[in-house]
Amino acid sequence: MDPFEIEFIGENRIVSIIPNFSHDKIFLICGEFGPFRAGLPMNVPLWLAVMLKQKQKCRMVPPDWMDIEALETIKEEEKISRFFTKMPHEHYMIEAKLILGVAAEDIPRAAEIKTIIKDIWDIRMSKLRTSMDALMKSGGSYGRLDHLTMMEINSVKPLLPQAMDELHRIKMMTRQTSSSTLNSSTFSQSGSSQNK
């Protein structure tokens, strides 16, 4: 999938805004939101929040996790742990990118927060590269990836799955040449098939 599609999925996340207008409840297909009361915080999907912000009809409320202290703790844990630690939520990077992109003035210490989130991302990506390397070197065809977010998983596509496919193909060939009974049907199948 393309990164913009992951962003599209992440935009369904619910965030808090403070509208500067009043309006009755709106009944959307993805749920009911409202009523909008000027000055009172309320929850809407991220895509709607971004749209209202761009029309200057609301202020964004920083999500709970978008806080320097909390992020510092996450960063330290991520540095110490050998494994991936649990992120505030599945789409933290998308939420950060969109909110800091359109509403940086609504977030206290936005620049610092941006830096820390980028640091966390970098630590995790370098960890991901190391573990991919280890997985390939051990000739693995299986890996467990708890706590990796969708965007992070997507960033190693198609490299990792395709490398594992190739490894699998090599193993198949080794097995065929070493075994006396050639199983030609499975070979031609995996050879002529396409990667999606």
Partner 1 sequence: MDTEDIELSEDEEEITAETVLKTLQNAWQNERLSPEILPHHNDMVECMLGQIQHMERNINKLPKTDLRSCIHKMELNRIKYIICNYLKTRLNKIESYCIAIVNEEKQRIESGTNYLTPSEFRYAQEYVLNMENHLKNTVLDHVPGNMQTFEFNKMAIYPNYQSHVFLKANETVNGIVLEDLLGDQDEEIDLEEGSQHILQYKPIADLVKNGKVQLV
18-22 long-range contacts (CB < 8 A, ≥24 apart) are 18/42, 18/58, 18/59, 18/60, 18/61, 19/52, 19/57, 19/58, 20/56, 20/57, 20/58, 20/59, 21/57
Member of 23, 37, 79, 89 binding partner 1 (CB under 8 A): 23
42 and 34 Cβ atoms separated by less than 8 Å? yes
Q: How far is the CB of 117 from partner 1 (least distance, A)?
A: 21
Q: Which is nearer to partner 1, 80 or 142 (CB)?
A: 142
Residues 6+ apart with CB under 8 A from 134: none
Residue 125, amino acid: M
111 and 153 Cβ atoms separated by less than 8 Å? no
139 and 111 Cβ atoms separated by less than 8 Å? no
Q: Which is nearer to partner 1, 9 or 123 (CB)?
A: 9
Question: Count of residues binding partner 1 (CB under 8 A)?
Answer: 44
- Per-residue binding letters, 29-68, with partner 1 (x by CB under 8 A): xxx---------------xx--x-----x-----------
- CA distance linking residue 35 with residue 48, whole number of Å: 14
- Per-residue binding letters, 132-171, with partner 1 (x by CB under 8 A): ---------xxxxxxxx-x--x---x--xx--xx--x--x
Q: Which is nearer to partner 1, 60 or 164 (CB)?
A: 164
Q: How far is the CB of 153 from partner 1 (least distance, A)?
A: 5
Binding status of residue 195 toward partner 1 by CB under 8 A: yes
Q: Which two tokens stand for residue 9?
A: 């999925």
Q: Which residues bind partner 1 (CB under 8 A)?
A: 1, 5, 8-9, 12, 21, 23, 26-31, 47-48, 51, 57, 141-148, 150, 153, 157, 160-161, 164-165, 168, 171-172, 174-175, 189-190, 192-196
